Amino acid sequence: MTDPVLDIRGLNKSFGALRASQDIDLTLHPGEIHALIGPNGAGKSTLIQQIAGGLRPDSGQVIFDGRDVTGLSTAARARLGMGRTFQISALAMDYTVLQNAVLGALGARGGVYRFFRPVMRDADLLARARAALDTVGLTEFQALRTSELSHGQRRQLEVAVALTLSPRVFLMDEPMAGLGADGSRRLMEMLDDLRAQAPILLIEHDMDAVFALADRISVLVYGQIVATGTVDEIRANAEVRTAYLGE
Ligand code: ADP
Ligand code: MG
């Protein structure tokens, strides 16, 4: 197999007596969607935050493109191509769709701005922003205020913002949360296409979506990965069925 883009080795993280991550090993390979499932409080978000740099592990390593990034900041990891979808609040609701995408592209360049006008005339930033909006299907909405978008469209914009940094991986924590059937389906189609551009580590509660999209699934229970396998392997795993799928 090809080298993993993301290689998590022996990650441990405790909050007081609570072991939220216990000796976590996990890989993400080019072209794949690796889903991370598990009950509430299992440690899924804690794990993704350690990968993205928002939380420092107690021990273990995060290897990204062959490089140990465990000590790097979130911003430094983002500049290396670690893309993630943020909570909705990361978008500026009063700004237009295009402006949010341009700000994303600016951030990807490591830039800050004092005056907004010159930023919106920067041809390179505009090109990146427009390409990202095109990928997620928001081109026709680019002049709308972000507050005018539906919940699902905002999720798509979050992905577009992440795309402006030409990510090498995508980390997504419950991107379908709160979406209706239509929004979920559209986002699933998008993720299905995106995996070719950058592999995706996907935390998702919607099992239909996970079973439809994932190349591999890891099951996290009380901070431990109890199983990793293909959709068929995970569905057939007795421990997983009782521990998580409730069968
Ligand atoms: P999941 O995303 O799988 O629902 P989390 O990673 O959010 O789970 O949380 C895992 C466990 O760690 C939970 O018991 C949660 O209460 C605890 N936890 C998460 N973040 C913190 C924190 N900053 N301080 C203390 N406990 C935390
Ligand atoms: Mg969570």
| Segment 58-66 mean pLDDT | 97
Within 10 angstroms of residue 129's Cβ, the number of other Cβ atoms is 27
pLDDT, mean over the chain? 90
Dihedral pair phi/psi, residue 149, rounded to 5°: -75, 155
The residue whose CA has the least distance to atom 15 of ligand 1 is 41
Residue-level pLDDT at 101: 94
What letter does residue 85 receive in the DSSP assignment?
-
Residue-level pLDDT at 53: 95
CA distance 84 to 50: 13
The residue whose CA has the least distance to atom 10 of ligand 1 is 43
pLDDT in tens, 195-225: 999 999 999 988 889 999 999 999 999 999 9
Ligand 1 atom nearest residue 223's Cα:
10
Residue-level pLDDT at 86: 64
Ligand 1 touching residue 15 (CB < 6 A): yes
| Segment 1-27 mean pLDDT | 95
* ipTM, 2 dp: 0.98
| Segment 56-73 mean pLDDT | 97
Ligand 1 touching residue 20 (CB < 6 A): yes
Ligand 1 atom nearest residue 40's Cα:
4
pLDDT in tens, 74-131: 889 988 999 987 655 578 899 999 999 999 888 777 777 777 777 888 899 999 999 9
What letter does residue 4 receive in the DSSP assignment?
P
Highest mean pLDDT among 31-35, 103-107, 136-140, 157-161: 31-35
Residue-level pLDDT at 88: 53
Residue-level pLDDT at 117: 77
The residue whose CA has the least distance to atom 19 of ligand 1 is 46
Within 10 angstroms of residue 59's Cβ, the number of other Cβ atoms is 12
Ligand number with the minimum distance to the CA of 44: 1
